[in-house]
Amino acid sequence: MEIIDHQIRLAAFEWLRKQVQLHGDLLPRRLLESGFDFQGERIPLLSPQGIFKPRQLQLPLTITTAPNGPYEDTFSAQGILLYRYRGTDPDHRDNAGLRETMKEHVPLIYFHGIVQGKYEAVWPVYIVGDDLVHLTFKVAADELESIQYKIENETTFVSDVENDIRRRYVTTQVRQRIHQHIFRERVLDAYCNQCSFCRLRHPELLDAAHIIGDKEPEGEPVVSNGLSLCKIHHAAFDEMLVGIRPEDYTIEVREDIRKEEDGPMLVHGLQKLHNTEIILPRIIRNRPDQNLLDIKFRRFKQAI
């Protein structure tokens, strides 16, 4: 890999780090399409193609999974991203370019579309396998420190087994983070970005709360197992200070909380919620699953 190619990749990683600090984990597509300046030239990071190579580089820089895109990119149970070829021709120049990054161990950036116009950025990632039969590349994420370590310690030997174990762990963490972001964005969107208890409309203060926790068999990351709640009501719901009657979506506040006297936050934030109905999504299939609410409500009653 040419020195200028390596410099551009490192500059892209640093630019992304700063953008995440400014904008949070989800970056707007228009920002990524605009890209950054490098030695007086503009380096975009996204294009309509999933496999993208800026004109200044010889090999691809980014790969992208678009929300509701034409390709089904999935994470395997073994902690690897299965990324579809462009088209069906293994020798298409984009596919050939990714294959070359695998041969030369060139780091890439992976963008996963969470919802329309918002992308999770993961870097560095590597092409670690090529499945000609199923027309997919195997992709693994790694720690940024691994690149810097190689630069500074060219003769240091790290076994393939060590690399494989580390990368599978990092990729599994990436998969969990992406799924959490997808769940959050879909739940908040279903509730029009407001708390379903108090109507607070500041997304930075809202959570996608699970009705049944994601570590339980029923706790799937689907909108009908979620509620859009501000942080105080999320905590109150999780800690069984409040419950939701499944038959009519009415909030019950625990009796001892209703009897407390502790200032206006308690009165307006919790006590006045008693016997009020939650705000529901307009789309019926996105409304809280009443069977899951029943499980949660029975636990709430047992906690009283």
Query: What one-letter code names the amino acid at 117?
Result: G
Backbone angles phi, psi at 210, to 5 degrees: -80, 140
Backbone angles phi, psi at 115, to 5 degrees: -140, 175
- Residue 194: both structure tokens together: 């407001």
Instruction: Provide the b/e sequence for 94-117 (b: ≥16 CB within 10 Å).
Output: bbebbbebbeeebbbbbbbbbbee
CA separation for the pair 57, 164 (Å, rounded): 27
pLDDT at 144: 83
H-helix or E-strand spanning residue 119: strand 118-131
User: 144-152 vs 3-23: helix axis angle to the nearest 10?
Assistant: 140
CA separation for the pair 3, 176 (Å, rounded): 34
pLDDT at 75: 87
Name the nearest CA neighbour of 45 among 22, 71, 74, 14. Answer: 14
pLDDT at 155: 44
CA separation for the pair 35, 28 (Å, rounded): 11
Model confidence, pTM: 0.83
pLDDT tens profile 64-120? 999 876 556 788 877 899 999 999 999 999 999 999 999 999 999 999 999 899 999
Other C-beta atoms within 10 Å of 40: how many? 5
CA separation for the pair 35, 43 (Å, rounded): 5
How deeply is 139 buried, as exposed, middle or buried, from its count of CB atoms within 10 A (0-12, 13-18, 19+)?
buried
Whether 60 contacts 98, CB under 8 Å? yes
Whether 120 contacts 114, CB under 8 Å? yes
pLDDT at 151: 47
pLDDT bin (cut points 50, 70, 90) of residue 159 is low
Please give the residue that has the higher pLDDT: either 182 or 164: 182
On average, the pLDDT of the chain sits at: 92
Name the nearest CA neighbour of 233 among 261, 260, 271. Answer: 271
CA separation for the pair 66, 92 (Å, rounded): 20
pLDDT tens profile 228-239? 999 999 999 999
Q: How far is CA 99 from CA 4, 61, 127, 130, in A?
A: 20, 13, 7, 7
Unique residue bearing structure tokens 């299939």: 285
pLDDT at 101: 96
DSSP annotation of 277: B
Q: How crowded is the C-beta side of 142, counted as CA atoms within 13 Å?
A: 22
CA separation for the pair 8, 59 (Å, rounded): 12
Residues 6+ away with beta carbon under 8 Å from 182: 114, 115, 221
The three-state secondary structure class of 59 is coil
